[in-house]
Amino acid sequence: MSDASRLTLNPPSRILLGPGPSNIHPRVQMAMLAPVVGHLDPYFVSVMEDTVALLRRTFRTQNKLTFPVSGTGSAGMEAAFDNFLEPGDTAIIGVSGLFGERMAENALRSGAKVVQVKAEWGNIIAPEAIETVLKAEKKVKLVAVVHAETSTGALQPLQEISRLAKQYGALFLVDTVTSLAGHEVAVDEWGIDICYSGTQKCISCPPGLAPFTANDQALAALASRKNKVNSWYLDLSLLSGYWSESRFYHHTAPISMVYALHEALALIDEEGMGARVARHKRHGAALHAGLEAMGLKLHAQAGHRLNVLTTVQIPAGVDDARLRKRLLTEYNIEIGGGLGPLKGKIWRIGLMGHSSTAENVLLVLSRLEKLLSEEGFKAKAGDGVAAALKVLNG
């Protein structure tokens, strides 16, 4: 291969059915090709204002502090804990997967006392387990959970935990990186004080921004800090100055990424959140039915399974890495493997945003059936597709 050919970008066009990123709409792709202007240019300021308005509708909030943090969903997580916890605070973190563990790590690095409420990977955190700790601790500053645990495929109910946090005077922080724009998220109605997400999953925008919102109660807690926020870059009191009408310079925003987010949010608005959630629910149910009809076993707790990300147990004798590699190289389909204690035990199949289509459901089921058969796992030909079609046509 010549030096010139190595330096020329020519990435393959994949069917992205893993845990993220998802495929993006052509309009989002085109938005990133738009001319770059200055980050304080009047045109870009108008794009910022529109983006914030669209984000408020997506989060279903009236929060003044709502904007995309420049960084991936992990930057949103770090901003949440860096700003609202400091030494001397106590935080309760629900941990039932990798991203709950990351929340706990972020909370520890803020200097806070962290009490982890754990559940088996694939199960939800029981509200009564949270309440037990709330009763035991003298004063809790913050309760945090992951709404859609990407590592396990479980969907955490939020309203009861929110009620408990309010009852005991704690802020309620929620990770919606995988759920926002695919499952229902209602920040104001559900009493969520602090919420962050990521752009690359159900929003179907490239990774690189972290939608973020915080209400007045959270901002009051931020204003009463005894110490400066550890991170200058993620200090919300500084970032909000740039995203407010004052436009105080903080950093050079990723112009093209904001264009892309604006277009992705516009597409969500055009579809309507109710219709979008229903689409993800229908396709998720079809995938679940198809996998089970093939004789496979779903991993996440029954009754609390994500529509946007399905975890399925790998049959005995099937080589995890080999099958996923064959899906990619022979059919151009990406699915994800397990993480942590679930590595080599489950597959993670995403149907997020632009990737959530009936065609993709039927495609991944038919290709999985063929490859599993060649790996020695026998399923009656066509059972998975037939079961999925029954849901899709129902």
CATH of the domain at 348: 3.90.1150.10
Q: Of 209, 235, 269, which residue sits at a domain end?
A: 269
Q: Of 269, 296, 320, which residue sits at a domain end?
A: 269
Question: Does 262 have pLDDT greater than 50?
Answer: yes
Sorting pLDDT into bands at 50, 70 and 90, what band is 2? low
Assess if residue 341 is contained within a domain.
yes
If asked whether residues 323 and 342 sit together in one domain, one would say yes
If asked whether residues 120 and 95 sit together in one domain, one would say yes
The residue assigned the tokens 């009754």 is: 303
Assess if residue 21 is contained within a domain.
no
Phi, psi of 80 (to 5 degrees): -60, -50
- The pLDDT value recorded for residue 244 is 86
Can you tell me the mean pLDDT for 108-134? 98
Say if CB 384 and CB 294 are below 8 A apart: yes
If asked whether residues 202 and 289 sit together in one domain, one would say no
Domain that holds residue 131: 26-269
Strands (E), the chain: 15-16, 65-70, 90-95, 113-118, 142-146, 148-149, 154-155, 171-175, 194-196, 209-214, 309-313, 333-334, 336-337, 346-350
List the single range of 47-56, 188-197, 236-245, 309-318 with lowest mean pLDDT: 236-245
Assess if residue 218 is contained within a domain.
yes
If asked whether residues 342 and 208 sit together in one domain, one would say no
One DSSP character per residue, 152-171 reads TTEE---HHHHHHHHHTT-E
- The pLDDT value recorded for residue 388 is 98
Task: Say what percent of the chain tops pLDDT 90.
Answer: 93
If asked whether residues 94 and 129 sit together in one domain, one would say yes
Can you tell me the mean pLDDT for 125-129? 98
- The pLDDT value recorded for residue 248 is 87
- The pLDDT value recorded for residue 246 is 83
| Predicted TM-score (pTM) of this structure | 0.96
If asked whether residues 131 and 243 sit together in one domain, one would say yes
If asked whether residues 264 and 348 sit together in one domain, one would say no
What is the CATH classification number for the domain harbouring 140? 3.40.640.10
Assess if residue 126 is contained within a domain.
yes
- The pLDDT value recorded for residue 188 is 98
If asked whether residues 246 and 288 sit together in one domain, one would say no
Question: Does 380 have pLDDT greater than 80?
Answer: no
If asked whether residues 236 and 382 sit together in one domain, one would say no
Mean pLDDT of the chain: 96
Q: Which helix (H) or strand (E) holds 191?
A: none
- The pLDDT value recorded for residue 138 is 87
Question: Does 180 have pLDDT greater than 90?
Answer: yes
Can you tell me the mean pLDDT for 83-105? 98
Max CA-CA distance within the chain? 66
Domains of the chain: total: 2
- The pLDDT value recorded for residue 3 is 65
The residue assigned the tokens 């204002």 is: 49
Strand-strand pairing, 142-146 and 333-334: unpaired
Assess if residue 104 is contained within a domain.
yes
Residue ranges of the alpha helices (H) in 89-215?
A: 98-109, 127-136, 159-167
For the segment 274-298, what is each residue's pLDDT rounded down to a tens digit? 999 999 999 999 999 999 999 999 9
If asked whether residues 147 and 294 sit together in one domain, one would say no
Can you tell me the mean pLDDT for 114-125? 98
Can you tell me the mean pLDDT for 264-268? 98
Residues whose CB falls within 8 Å of the CB of residue 77, separated by 6 or more in sequence, listed in order: 99, 102, 103, 106, 175, 177, 196, 210
If asked whether residues 329 and 237 sit together in one domain, one would say no
For the segment 193-224, what is each residue's pLDDT rounded down to a tens digit? 999 999 999 999 999 999 999 999 999 999 99
